[in-house]
Amino acid sequence: MGFQEKLQSIKNLMRDYKYYEALSSLFTWEQWQQLPTEGNDYRQKMQGFFTGKMGEIFLSDTAKQGAIYFSDFDPSLLGDDMERGLVRSFLYLYNNTTKVPLEKQVELASLTAKAQKMWQEAYQASDYSIFKPALEEIFRLKMGIAKYIDPNKHPFYVLAGSADEGIEIEKVNLLFKELRNGIIKILEKINKSSVNIDDSCILQQFDKEELKTFIKYLVEATGYDSSRGGFGEVLHPFAVLIGPRDVRITTNYDTFKFGVFAAIHEAGHAMYAQRSNDAVVDMHLWGGNMGAFHESQSRFYENIIGKSKEYWLHFYPELQKRFAQFENVDLDTFYKAINKVEPSFKRVVADELTYSLHPILRFEIEKDLVEGNANFNMLPELWNDKYETYLGIRPTNDREGVLQDVHWSMGLVGYFQSYALGNLYGGQFRRAMLKAVPNVYSEIAKGNFAPLNQWMTENIHQHGRVYSPDEMLRRVTGEELQSKYFLDYLKEKYSQIYQFDLE
């Protein structure tokens, strides 16, 4: 079998993998939207079955032959970037899949389906003990999986690498130290500031149906294509990638701020996934790089765009028309309200400045659990101690504390660093965008999102997974990941809001 035949064979395997992945995404969407309680046991069996089928793709002789052939193949002999991206993505998935016994993959799928229900019950009851058995089992299973993938590497390094392709934990530790110290310095200045922000305007009660209508209008005007997606409501918002032209988003309408900005966040994920060009879709590389890179797109739209003054220069008049609560509130008051810095227990509603401290402390907790420096009995106390140290607040119950996130119940151990790294990517992309399109914010203020979305599509979104995260970052910015650009953005923004000197 020649080169083209080998290339076509792994392309077909990637197609089949994406089909099963899409089916799994459909299960996730339906599980959180309308799965009846009594249907959960059978759903677990179904998910386990299809996870097994997905794993079999890379256990086939065709996959093995393809991996042997392309592992020793000179990348420079590949015809173009698309072919190089296909081979890289195939080998990445192959190496992370075939080393893990199929029965372990099936076991994980069944366990996480059960664990998500247990997490929901524990969260509603604010009782960690309900979730603890499943959590311990998930960590045990994930650590075993890490050893299968690379027995010579620290299990946590392996798990984080499965979430973020090419990640180097030593580099992450350095970036997080810089980011943490930089945020603390800004926070100290804010605490000394005489500026007091009144955010009562966004803390009022809003009609749920009217809020739904406004949020749909908002994200569509920003660039989310609902003809390639849909809307749902859940406790913990997410975006689900079902197909290259079917990426659905969810939010929670309990409060104005959370509903609006969670929706913009998920729309950022969706826009990235929806915009892969036709050639990328044909090569089955659509959807984008997972982990930190995907989080960079959601965090970018949610905060760097969605919480900018220019964004609301355009949308605020419409908001005032639709909601009487804002009729007598000026734009400056509203802008400061949505950007108020106030440490919170919940990561998903944290202000833009202190947000990164939430994933950083989770990253540290996960590392301690995997290394055996912490145990699951002490986890709630450890969690609360970290919050007190980092944010100066202490959770009073499990719902405020250790049960904050659904991620562990989904098997996402080694993922939390992606959120903070995503912020760093976003700050670096913002700098590159402003150099290329200096008037992008003034156009947003006019309601013209074309320059923003064209730049994002041309430089990032259309390429899907063709380039690794490091390659993509260097193509767009010319540099490796830095902390300074995001910190410079934070200093510039919050020095204006809280009126302190940059120094």
State the catalytic residues: 266
CA dihedral 409, 233, 383, 140 (to 10 degrees): 10
* d(C-alpha 9, C-alpha 327), whole Å: 61
Tell me how crowded residue 171 is: count the other CB atoms within 10 A of its CB.
12
Distances (CA, A) of 250 to 26, 234, 437: 14, 6, 31
CA-wise closest residue to 276 among 9, 18, 6, 12: 18
Tell how far CA 402 is from the center of its chain.
Answer: 19
Q: Extract the tokens encoding 396.
A: 């009073």
Q: Extract the tokens encoding 183.
A: 């945020």
Amino acid at 33: Q
CA-wise closest residue to 262 among 184, 347, 360, 189: 347
Phi/psi of residue 241, each to 5°? -95, 100
Distances (CA, A) of 500 to 188, 190, 309, 334: 11, 8, 18, 20
Q: Extract the tokens encoding 163.
A: 């979430």
* d(C-alpha 286, C-alpha 163), whole Å: 17
CB 368 within 8 A of CB 157: no
- Which letter, b or e, does each residue of 60-80 get, where b requires 16 or more Cβ atoms within 10 Å of its Cβ? eeebeebbebbeeeeeeebee
CA-wise closest residue to 270 among 240, 292, 300, 305: 240
* d(C-alpha 322, C-alpha 256), whole Å: 13
Alpha helices in 195-255 (DSSP H): 208-222
The angle at the Cα of 224, spanning 223 to 225, to the nearest 5 degrees, equals 110
Q: How many residues does the chain have?
A: 503
The answer for residues whose C-beta is within 8 angstroms of residue 191's C-beta and 6 or more apart is none
Amino acid at 168: E
CA-wise closest residue to 458 among 444, 437, 478: 437
* d(C-alpha 249, C-alpha 242), whole Å: 11
The angle at the Cα of 43, spanning 237 to 245, to the nearest 5 degrees, equals 50
* d(C-alpha 40, C-alpha 25), whole Å: 16
* d(C-alpha 112, C-alpha 48), whole Å: 10
